[in-house]
Structure formats: structure tokens, C-alpha cells
Amino acid sequence: MQKRFVAIWFRHLLTDWLALRRPELRSVPFVVAIKDHGRLLITATNSHAESEGIHPGMVAADAKALVPSLEIIDDIPGKGDKLLKRLGEWCIRYTPVIALDSPDGLILDISGCPHLWGGEHDYLKEIITRLRSKGYDVRAAMADTIGTAWAVSRFGKVKPIIQYNCQAEALLPLPPAALRLESPVLERLQKLGLRTISSFMTMPRSVLRRRFGSGILQRLDQALGNEDEPIKSLLPIEPYQERLPSLEPIRTAVGIEIAVQKLLEMLCKRLQQEGKGIRTAVFKCYRIDGKLVQMDIGTNLASHNTHHLFKLFELKIATLEPALGIELFVLEAPKIEDIPPHQEALWADKPGLEDNALAELLDRLAGKVGADTIHRYLPDEHYWPERSIKTSFSIKDKPSIRWRSDKPRPVQLLARPEHIEVTAPIPDYPPMLFRYKEKVHHVKKADGPERIEREWWLDGGQHRDYYHVEDQNGQRYWLFRSGHYNGDGSNEWFIHGFFA
Amino acid sequence: MQHGGACLWISMRRTLFPPSLKVFGVEPDRLIFVDLKRERDVLWAMEEALKCKGLSAVIGELGEISFTETRRLQLAAEQSRVTGFVLRSDPKKLSATACVARWNITSLPSELETGMPGVGFPRWNVELLKVRNGNPGSWKVEWSAGQFRPVHEPKEAVLELQSLKAG
């Protein structure tokens, strides 16, 4: 496909933004300046200041001498790039591939997009008028190559749309600066009297390389389309993405639901054909005030079931803020997995953990109350009770070792052992009675001790001697003494669990 | 649960220690725990889970439950034929419920052969307070040699259910 690019130039990016923020600045000359070696250096000017002959790179004091009423505003480092990035994200409605061209431009790869706006002319006009109505003074140009579009947007005087394969004619009358050359090269060209590209474009390549280095040849080739110029897209394109622009801004939950449904149907149809399913999906809404709101979902098993995925999104629609309205919906699936072909069983048992219905239920629960509330445990190779289980992160994990059942373990385990007072015969007998929560329990039967050593390579402290005891009411407890019996009655006893 | 089914355990303050279930023949990794903060969420999660046909059982730990809420859960369970248990540990707050059966289980002192030290097999007094189309009753059961055995009365009740209820 024939490549086409648009280069947008924000002539006064920073000052336009400031004027939008502070309307009183709109009609006065002002500059943005930064401290540099003890003086104020101008980094951006507005159009009024520019018409007075002030340009970036001047010292603020000189500019003040030219225009005594000049206002000087402190520069915010990095603000320009941030602004540009936001504008780039706003431009996503015109094309998915957008690159930043610091400090004051954007490059749009518009191959295959203009016909959606009724042709190249209308497309470019729409971009320019929309940006101008936002308050930015822009110039834009369209061409087959980034180099030519850039050159025409900055230096072109005739028309902004360069027809197919007409880069050379468009470039001929422009100054060499339009080729994005380094300043030493530009100075040398100036010195030699080569004021337009036409004066040196026809020179032999070897001469140009010898005189000006290989940079000029590369830039010339890039502008003419003999060499490809890669661009770094602002938003990496997801391979699984669907877009739905809306005719009028959408503000209601019903409208958003319809958009989700439509996009899911498009995406799931494609995934189904490829035998894949969604693990995570992001639903992005571009609002007309330039902000982006989004909601994301995750699933336990890959799924291309529209109905199920819609239910997951439905739970979160309330969290979106449409504000004045949403004009573009994008559904992306950053994480995709293969779905193994499923075979129907004639006499199915109760389905296990790999069941779709269960996975869908867990997705719904996670969507409503948060994924961190759902736990599943696998055995771990530790004797220490608190460490004998580990959390499983996927529903598909299988236990790598067997669950142990040779030693008695309580049905209920306290998250942290609670201190109890006991009366115990010395030295290693189970207690005769203990007091827990203001209640005295007389121990009638007891088993133990079972000594569990602390894992010294993980943490320090005393080992535990566990006793399984039963009181007069038939209730069974798991008690332990911390450390060895030490003879002076200062041993600490704890209750750690309850047996069935 | 024997045939590889999964089970959902929904609670607010969970103290269940999964490895202990292995003794009672339940694979602890087949249990999925949902720990919620509000009682309302527990009820919602239970109802959603009871509607899901892919589960063997749903267990919810609740402090209080009203008749209307039990009715909802009961209808959901009847639709999907998933067994649901509501565990209530505070005997003072028992209100009327719309469930099929209500059990009251208390632990009993274990018994050992005379003269032997240690703690015997766990024993419970299992009381069936209410059952639809049946008569209530009371049994003493013991867990030994991998199954529930009645202690005095030779009546074999629906003991499978109690393995979970006993927790």
C-alpha cells in the first residue's frame, strides 16, 4: 500500500497552551524563559512577540529592550513533551500510528485512513480546523514521506498536500533547513551560497558526501522516498484491537453497553476463527475533552465467549466517567492464549477445576470484589504450620507434592497463636488446665508433644512443642509451648488451633 | 468432591486450615476460598456460586441470615442442584430458614480403650433439627479408619454431608 504521512507543526505549542490557561495573555507579547548561566534564555515565544522580532534563543534582557512591555514566564521543563504526548493521544482518532517529533511536532502515519473522512483534502482540513479550534496554531502537510511532509509543514508556501511521487518538485524551492540537517552542515551550505534544495539536489552524491558528510544524503533519500524512515509509534498497536468511533458523543451507560457488545462481537469472532481466547482485555474510551478513561478485565481461563466477557465489563461500566461524552471506543486484548479444542463427554462427571462455568464464576467474583479476595492453596515443603501451604496463582496449578495426613492438624488455625495461661507438670507433660479467653479448660486427654523446629535459615526463634488436648466438654485444641522447659516457670504457652 | 469436583468456601473471617481436610478425604487444593469484607458480598457471592453448575458444593460462613435470603439461596440451589452449606457458629442467633435440612453438630469427648493414653478418634453429636419430608433425629458419630461410623445407634444417616458440615 502507498504510504502517506502527515506532519503537524505546533508553531507556538507552549505559549498557546499558556494562553489557553491564562486568557489575559492572549493579546500581549510574552515569552517563556529558562535560567541559563545566570541569565534568562528564551525558549518559546508567542505570535505577538515573534512579530516584534523576538525568537527563541535570545536572552530575555535583549528582548525586553526591544519590547518593554514583554511578559516573561518561567519555563516548566518537560512540559512541552507532555503536552505533545497528550495531543498525540488525542490525534489517535485519525490514525492508530502516531509518533512524537520533539520539540514541537507530530508525525501521523495515515496510510489507508483519509478515505474514512472523505478524501485527503477533507481529512487534513478536519485535523487542522479541530486543532485550531482547540486553540493551537498549527500547520500541517501531507506527503509520501516523513521528510517531505515535515519540510512542507515548516517551510511550504504553496499547498499542504503533496501528490503521490511529487516529493522532488515540492522540495526544490525550499531552504536546506527543511531537510532536518545539523546546524554545522546548514552553516556550510549557507556559506557556499546554496540557499535552496534545488541548488544542490542534482549534485553528484560523492561530492555531497565529501563536502557535507553522509547525513545530508540520508536526509535527502528519506525525503525523496528512496530510503525508509522508521517511526516509533506513541501507542504500540495491539495485534488484537477493535475500534468503534461514534457519530455523536455517548454519555449513557446503555450507549456504552452497546459499544462493548459490538466490539466484543467483532473481536471474539476473529479470535474464534484463530482458536484463541482473551486472558486480559482493556476497554478504552476517548472523551471529547481529550481525556482517556478505561476499564480492564481479566479471566482465569482464555475465553472468547461474548456473553461472559460482556458480563465482566458490565460490572465495571459504572466506574467510567463519560463527562461530556465519549467519541471513540477501543477494545484491546493485550494477553491472548490458545484455547485447546474441547471434546464433549457423554457421561460427564461433576466437572473439576478446569471447568468453564467455574472459571467464568471466578472471573465475575474477581470483577466485582477484586482478584485479591480469591485464594487457592497448594502444599509446600515445610513442617512449620504457617508455611505448610502456599498460595496458588493459577487455577491450573497442580500440587507438586502430596498433602500430608500423617500428623494431626487442626481444622481451624489461628492466624497468629494466642497466649494462654497453663498449669503443667514438669518437664515435658501436657498442661493439666489452661485459661483461654477468661475460661478455664480442664484437660482430660492429651497427645504429644510433636516438636516442630523453626527453620533457622528462614527466621530465628524458639521451636514449638505441640500438644493435642481435649477438655472436659469434648472440645479439642492444639496447644504449644515455645522452646524448651527452662525450670523457672517462665515458659510461654500458646493456643494455635481447634480440632473438629 | 471424590470425583474431582471443586468447592467454593466463602467467608469473612476464615480460620480453616486447608491441610487438615486431607484426613477427611477432601483434597484441599480443590477448595477455592473467597475472603470478603461485608456480609452482603458473602450473600451475593454465594448466590452467584450456587447458580453455577460446575461446582460440587458451596460453603458460606455467615453470622446472621434472614428468611428471605435463605429462600433466595435455596431457589438458586434447587435450580442448579449444587449443594450449599451455610455455617453458623453462634447458636444464639438461629433464625428460621428456608433450607432443606438444618444440622446442629457439637463435639463429644472421645473415648479410648481403657488404660490407653492419648486422644481418641474425634466424636460428634449430630442433631438433625429439621429436614424436609423426613423426621429429625440425633446420632453420635465417630471418624475412624477413613470414614464416619455411628457410635451407638447403627443408623447410617447421610453422613457424606457432614464431612463438610463438621468443620
pLDDT of residue B22: 87
Whether A375 is covered by a domain: the verdict is no
* Cα of A416 to nearest chain B Cα, Å: 10
Whether A60 is covered by a domain: the verdict is yes
Whether A371 is covered by a domain: the verdict is no
B-chain residues within 8 Å CB-CB of A373?
Answer: 34-36
Q: Tell me the pLDDT tens digit for each residue of A201-246.
A: 888 889 888 988 888 889 888 888 888 888 888 877 777 888 888 8
Q: How many domains does the structure of chain A reveal?
A: 4
Asked if B28 and A415 come within 8 Å (Cβ–Cβ), the reply is no
User: Which residues 112-131 on chain A approach chain B with CB closer than 8 angstroms?
Assistant: none
Out of A352, A389, A473, whose CB is closest to B19? A389
Whether A407 is covered by a domain: the verdict is no
Asked if A413 and B109 come within 8 Å (Cβ–Cβ), the reply is no
Q: Is the pLDDT of residue B154 over 50?
A: no
**What are the φ/ψ torsions at residue A184 (nearest 5 degrees)?**
-60, -35
Fill in the DSSP letter of residue A474.
Answer: S
- Are the C-beta atoms of A287 and A327 separated by less than 8 Å? yes
Q: Is the pLDDT of residue B157 over 60?
A: no
Asked if B23 and A399 come within 8 Å (Cβ–Cβ), the reply is no
User: Which residues 450-489 on chain A approach chain B with CB closer than 8 angstroms?
Assistant: 468-470, 472-476
pLDDT of residue B129: 85
For residue A447, name the pLDDT band (cuts at 50, 70, 90).
confident
State CA A200 to chain mean position distance.
46
A201 lies in the same domain as A246:
no
Which CATH number do you get for residue A261? 3.30.1490.100
Q: Out of A356, A391, A422, pick the residue that ends a domain.
A: A356
- Average pLDDT (B112-129) is 84
A19 lies in the same domain as A129:
yes
A145 lies in the same domain as A176:
no
Out of A350, A375, A413, whose CB is closest to B17? A413
- Look at A297-306, A367-376, A480-489, B120-129 and tell me which has the smallest mean pLDDT: A480-489
Containing A434, the helix (H) or strand (E) segment is strand A433-436
Q: Is the pLDDT of residue B167 over 70?
A: no
Count Cβ atoms below 10 Å from residue B114 Cβ, excluding itself: 5
- Are the C-beta atoms of A149 and A179 separated by less than 8 Å? no
Asked if A361 and B119 come within 8 Å (Cβ–Cβ), the reply is no
Whether A233 is covered by a domain: the verdict is no
Asked if A374 and B20 come within 8 Å (Cβ–Cβ), the reply is no
A150 lies in the same domain as A181:
no
A147 lies in the same domain as A11:
yes
Asked if B167 and A500 come within 8 Å (Cβ–Cβ), the reply is yes
Q: Is the pLDDT of residue B1 over 60?
A: no
Query: What is the grid cell recorded at A66?
Result: 526591544
A-chain residues within 8 Å CB-CB of B119?
Answer: 445-447, 468-470, 476
* Cα of A273 to nearest chain B Cα, Å: 26
Please tell me the distance from the alpha carbon of residue A403 to that of residue B91, in angstroms, as a whole number.
33
A436 lies in the same domain as A488:
yes
* Cα of B37 to nearest chain A Cα, Å: 9
Q: What's the whole-number average pLDDT of chain A?
A: 86
Q: Is A89 helix (H, G, I), strand (E, B) or coil?
A: helix
* Cα of B94 to nearest chain A Cα, Å: 21
B-chain residues within 8 Å CB-CB of A374?
Answer: 32-35
Q: Tell me the pLDDT tens digit for each residue of A236-246.
A: 777 788 888 88
Q: Is the pLDDT of residue A342 over 70?
A: no
Out of A358, A365, A445, whose CB is closest to B54? A358
User: Which residues 278-337 on chain A approach chain B with CB closer than 8 angstroms?
Assistant: none
Asked if B45 and A412 come within 8 Å (Cβ–Cβ), the reply is no
- Are the C-beta atoms of B57 and B28 separated by less than 8 Å? no
B-chain residues within 8 Å CB-CB of A349?
Answer: 3-5
- Average pLDDT (A160-164) is 86
pLDDT of residue B28: 87
- What domain range is A428 assigned to? 412-498
A149 lies in the same domain as A250:
no
- Average pLDDT (A421-437) is 84
pLDDT of residue A352: 66
B-chain residues within 8 Å CB-CB of A355?
Answer: 6, 54
Query: What is the grid cell recorded at A94?
Result: 485519525
* Cα of A382 to nearest chain B Cα, Å: 12
- Are the C-beta atoms of A426 and A409 separated by less than 8 Å? no
Please tell me the distance from the alpha carbon of residue A414 to that of residue A390, in angstroms, as a whole number.
16
CA-nearest residue to B166 within chain A is A500
A204 lies in the same domain as A111:
no
Question: How large is the ipTM?
Answer: 0.83
Out of A353, A411, A446, whose CB is closest to B30? A353
Which CATH number do you get for residue A138? 3.40.1170.60
Q: Is the pLDDT of residue A344 over 70?
A: no
Whether A93 is covered by a domain: the verdict is yes
A245 lies in the same domain as A174:
no
A253 lies in the same domain as A183:
no
Q: Is the pLDDT of residue B155 over 50?
A: no
A430 lies in the same domain as A333:
no
* Cα of A303 to nearest chain B Cα, Å: 16
Contacts with B81 (C-beta within 8 Å, 6 or more apart), sequence order: B53
pLDDT of residue B162: 37
For residue B87, name the pLDDT band (cuts at 50, 70, 90).
confident
Whether A365 is covered by a domain: the verdict is no
Whether A405 is covered by a domain: the verdict is no
